[in-house]
């Protein structure tokens, strides 16, 4: 019974992950290569690059592109994916946060997931650590790493979200992730440093807008007023 179940799982995930490439090639997930330009990724998932949201603009441009299965699909015959969040550093892909559709992989255990992914990326390790899911450092959403596949350049981390109990996989280019993290911290430092001046400028603009609106209303109302 166990051998039969293992065979079925292997065949299922062999089909699901067949587009990943040769075994232990961690440089890409499916057809998404680390370092790909934003425009190329957007085209591949049938989206406009303009749909990407900019998280930071200096000292580097950090952007995210959220793809959901409900809108389009990289491979129409493969419905195992629910969503992928693509993160970009100066337009280069450095991280992917993949969420699998819990309905499509219903009943599969953590061991099943590990076995299937290991068939592509080699043996897994099980480090005692958590990994941040959110693209925003101010919002702490860290999950336990169930299994990890990595080399000197790339890291893949299996997790299970408490929201909907869905399995997910975070794929990272270590070098780009490091410089992106440094850039994000610097951007947050600059934002905090400049916040008081920006608030003063915002209030001044608000007052000026109010003054201009009142003056326009005055010019309209004055000729019509009859005491």
Percentage of the chain exceeding pLDDT 70: 83
Range 182-188, long-range pairs (CB < 8 A, 24+ positions): 183/56, 183/59, 183/60, 183/62, 183/89, 184/55, 184/56, 184/62, 184/137, 185/137, 186/59, 187/56, 187/57, 187/58, 187/59, 187/60, 187/62, 188/56, 188/137, 188/138
> Above 70 in pLDDT, residue 76?
no
Q: What is the pLDDT of residues 10-33, one digit of tens each?
A: 444 554 444 444 458 899 999 999
Which pTM value belongs to this model? 0.75
Give the burial class of 10: count Cβ atoms within 10 A of its Cβ; 0-12 exposed, 13-18 middle, 19 or more buried: middle
Reported as a pLDDT band with limits 50, 70 and 90, residue 1 is very low
d(CA 158, CA 126): 10
d(CA 57, CA 182): 13
Reported as a pLDDT band with limits 50, 70 and 90, residue 66 is very high
d(CA 10, CA 21): 16
Reported as a pLDDT band with limits 50, 70 and 90, residue 138 is low
Task: Write down the domain spans for the chain.
Answer: 2-181
Would the CA dihedral through 34, 41, 51, 202 be positive or negative?
A: positive
Residue 159 pairs in a beta bridge with: 168
Contact assessment for residue 184 and residue 109, using Cβ atoms and an 8 Å cutoff: no
Determine the average pLDDT of the residues in 146-166: 91
Q: What is the pLDDT of residues 182-208, one digit of tens each?
A: 998 898 888 888 778 778 878 888 888
pLDDT for the residue numbered 52: 96
């Amino acid at each position: 019974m166990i051998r039969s179940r293992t065979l079925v799982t292997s065949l299922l995930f062999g089909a699901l992950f067949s587009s990943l490439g040769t075994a232990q090639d961690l440089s890409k997930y499916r057809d998404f290569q680390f370092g790909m330009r934003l425009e190329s990724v957007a085209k591949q998932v049938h989206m406009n690059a303009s749909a990407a949201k900019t998280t930071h603009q200096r000292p580097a441009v950090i952007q995210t592109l959220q793809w959901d299965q409900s809108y389009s699909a990289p491979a129409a015959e493969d419905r195992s994916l629910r969503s992928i969040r693509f993160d970009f550093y100066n337009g280069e892909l450095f991280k992917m946060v993949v969420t699998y559709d819990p309905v499509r992989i219903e009943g599969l255990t953590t061991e099943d997931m590990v076995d299937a992914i290991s068939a592509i990326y080699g043996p897994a390790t099980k480090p005692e650590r958590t990994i941040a899911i959110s693209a925003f450092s101010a919002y702490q959403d860290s999950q336990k790493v169930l299994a990890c596949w990595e080399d000197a350049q790339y890291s893949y981390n299996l997790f299970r979200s408490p929201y909907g109990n869905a399995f997910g996989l975070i794929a990272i280019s270590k070098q780009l992730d490091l410089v992106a993290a440094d850039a994000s911290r610097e951007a947050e430092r600059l934002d905090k440093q400049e916040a008081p001046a920006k608030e003063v400028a915002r209030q001044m603009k608000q007052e000026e807008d109010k003054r201009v609106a009142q003056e326009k209303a005055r010019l309209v109302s004055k000729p019509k007023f009859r005491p």
